[in-house]
């Protein structure tokens, strides 16, 4: 069964809107695990507009499922990940002013840079995943870096799902098949939701993990966090 990692960035966004510690990011992570989440994902950005670097340090002390730290690997990020030593680090090529992730790595152009990063993190026993578009060439480029896994950037799938879900998923199936052929582990994330998750999980071979934040937290406003997590888990089990 594909594992569900809950991204709690939006909880931090809500907290930061008023200051203080309500909602409590650490408590929400613990509750998400208690409600069935099989991992916790955070994406600290340089301006700390949602998850703060101090949050990451606090979460490391309490998270008992898989802890996944994703982000643009600048020097501060690298230092944080090496200090925390999560189970997984996901390398994402975010621009400093990006509202959210909007593209995968060009693993051909940035092969040397990514290879160096992969080596840094693997030397500390951290599993590495590289964020890529659903492009077989980018999957092959990721393999050349020595990464353990890739994470497919799924916003294009989500955008086109309602119009033609078969066409929307086709490049992701090809990319997943290429990953399997090359022996790469496969994760996915970005704009996966209760509407499109089941179809994606049913058609993507070798899907190990999905990381879901925005849609899941938005759904929790209506359904409650515990019920929402269970709903997402049922989509993955169907």
pLDDT digits 0-9 by tens, 14-33: 999 999 999 999 999 999 99
Active site residue 70: yes
To the nearest whole percent, how much of the chain has pLDDT over 90? Answer: 95
pLDDT of 6 above 60: yes
Grouping H, G, I as helix, E, B as strand and the rest as coil, residue 53 is helix
- Distance (Å, whole) CA 214 – CA 10: 6
Q: Which of 135, 131, 114 is nearest to 178 (CA)?
A: 135
**pLDDT averaged over every residue in the chain:** 96
Q: Out of 33, 50, 70, 209, which one is annotated catalytic?
A: 70
pLDDT of 46 above 60: yes
In the prediction, which pLDDT does 95 show? 64
Active site residue 50: no
In the prediction, which pLDDT does 96 show? 58
In the prediction, which pLDDT does 238 show? 85
Pairing outcome for strands 127-132 and 149-153: parallel
Q: Out of 43, 50, 151, 209, which one is annotated catalytic?
A: 43
pLDDT of 98 above 60: no
- pTM of the predicted model, to two decimals? 0.95
Active site residue 190: yes
pLDDT of 68 above 80: yes
Q: Out of 50, 151, 190, 209, which one is annotated catalytic?
A: 190
């Amino acid at each position: 069964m594909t594992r569900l990692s809950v991204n709690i960035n939006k909880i931090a966004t809500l907290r930061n809107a008023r200051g203080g510690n309500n909602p409590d990011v650490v408590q929400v992570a613990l509750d998400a695990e208690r409600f069935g989440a099989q991992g916790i994902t955070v994406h600290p950005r340089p301006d700390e507009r949602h998850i703060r670097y101090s949050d990451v340090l606090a979460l490391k002390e309490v998270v008992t499922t898989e802890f996944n730290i994703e982000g643009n690997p600048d020097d501060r990020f690298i230092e944080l990940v090496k200090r925390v030593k999560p189970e997984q680090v996901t390398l994402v090529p975010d621009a400093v002013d990006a509202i959210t992730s909007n593209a995968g790595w060009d693993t051909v152009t940035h092969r040397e840079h990514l290879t160096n990063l992969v080596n840094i993190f693997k030397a500390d026993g951290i599993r590495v995943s590289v964020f890529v578009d659903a492009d077989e060439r980018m999957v092959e480029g990721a393999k050349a870096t020595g990464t353990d896994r890739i994470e497919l950037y799924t916003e294009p799938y989500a955008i086109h799902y309602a119009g033609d879900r078969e066409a929307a998923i086709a490049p992701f199936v090809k990319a997943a098949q290429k990953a399997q052929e090359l022996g790469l582990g496969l994760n996915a994330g970005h704009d996966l939701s209760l509407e499109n998750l089941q179809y994606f999980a049913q058609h993507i071979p070798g899907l190990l993990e999905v990381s879901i934040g925005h849609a899941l937290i938005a759904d929790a406003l209506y359904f409650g966090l515990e019920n929402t997590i269970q709903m997402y888990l049922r989509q993955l089990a169907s």
